[in-house]
A and B are shown apart, each in its own frame.
Chain A
């Protein structure tokens, strides 16, 4: 039944559980639309034929009863609100941080997609991810607004310059899915496409091992040197001591209490936001003194620092994680501002 309807509505194959749930809502809402407009049209035809008259006659003055009007309005509004409730819940799932997520950094620019992986490697326009692991994208743009669109996931998110936005996609079924740019971004907007390849775990591992032969330092190592170079250790430590800022040890995956009383999960997205927009979320008990690194900390280095912070919680147990080696793009020459005051 689902399959039939999906084909009838020209929807592409659904990659995730969430996409299927959205399709179900889709069928209900569009089904109502079709039936509703046909019903209205049918009623109009019937009334026109029934009351059509060759002679213009006086007609009785009719007025609706207010109670009935209210009832009708209430019925319609409740139907619409029901759709909203279900839709909003599903919508939120695109923005929930997923535990265990496979996080990829996405950089959009006219007219290509660049993907930076947890192990530091980068690819253009083709994104390869493992099956059965929730996928999370942390995205930013180098120039104008683009929109990352995965029809198979029923997912889309505008990618903005100067900001990191996240998109949680859930675990996908193996297969190839089209990526398009959905926000007009200039003359080659229509050509800014890519492909998402979801591989079964084994194949993914093979892909990982096959790629990037000439990489020479681990991403974690790179993250450590980048942190040192950008002066993070002036305020942060990696050994559990609190300094000007909170320590990074054990930070990743923990729950952070913010100054305004809310709690957030310290995932890749949060850490990235902490670097790029530190004033937005202030950790409880600290001063809002951290400068923003937006524009001065290039994407690959930010990714590396996040990986480094992530490594700090397992450092006690499992030293020297055997992450694949990486290659990081040279620091971004296009950065517009220096961090030095």
Chain B
């Protein structure tokens, strides 16, 4: 496989070469995952389709981060910076989606108030 890929060759010291091979492998794994995701999209997974696709995306993202961006080799400060940004993204999304998802229903009423008996017919107007 190695000669097929530009940038990977057999010269150089062992560990350097291993690293280049690792990168190439990561690239292939990414393509394979993308293929998997693509294939799965033809199955009728209904409600599961999105979570599964996102999980695969997460796996791909970890590959890019870990292998290409050398995330784990960076200084702690760098990792913290990236992590903070991610956390903020999740916060923004969570609270905003929670708003849309929980609107127009007061779920926090005590049950005895929520469970009202049918109204008197003259509810509309005072006698």
Contact = CB atoms under 8 A, between A and B. Distances in A.
Q: Do chains A and B touch in the complex (CB under 8 A)?
A: yes
A273 B123 CA distance: 19
B109 interface: yes
Contacts of B120: 100
Contact of B103 (A102, A130, A280): A280
B51 interface: no
B126 A205 contact: yes
Interface in B104-127: 104-109, 113-116, 118-121, 123-127
A201 B125 CA distance: 10
Contacts of A95: 106
Interface string A88-131: 00001001110111110000000000000011000000000010
A317 B120 CA distance: 12
Contact of B124 (A118, A255, A263): A118
A307 interface: yes
- Is the interface on chain A under 10, 10 to 19, 20 to 34, or 35 or more residues? 35 or more
Interface residues of B, number: 20
Contacts of B123: 99-101, 253, 310
B118 A102 contact: no
A264 interface: yes
Nearest to B103: A280
B115 A102 contact: no
Contacts of B124: 102-103, 118-119, 307, 310, 323
Given A118-B124, A130-B126, A310-B124, A254 B105 contact: no
Contacts of B114: 263, 265
B118 A313 contact: yes
Interface of B: 103-109, 113-116, 118-121, 123-127
9 contacts: A99-B116, A99-B123, A201-B127, A208-B125, A250-B118, A262-B105, A273-B104, A281-B104, A307-B124
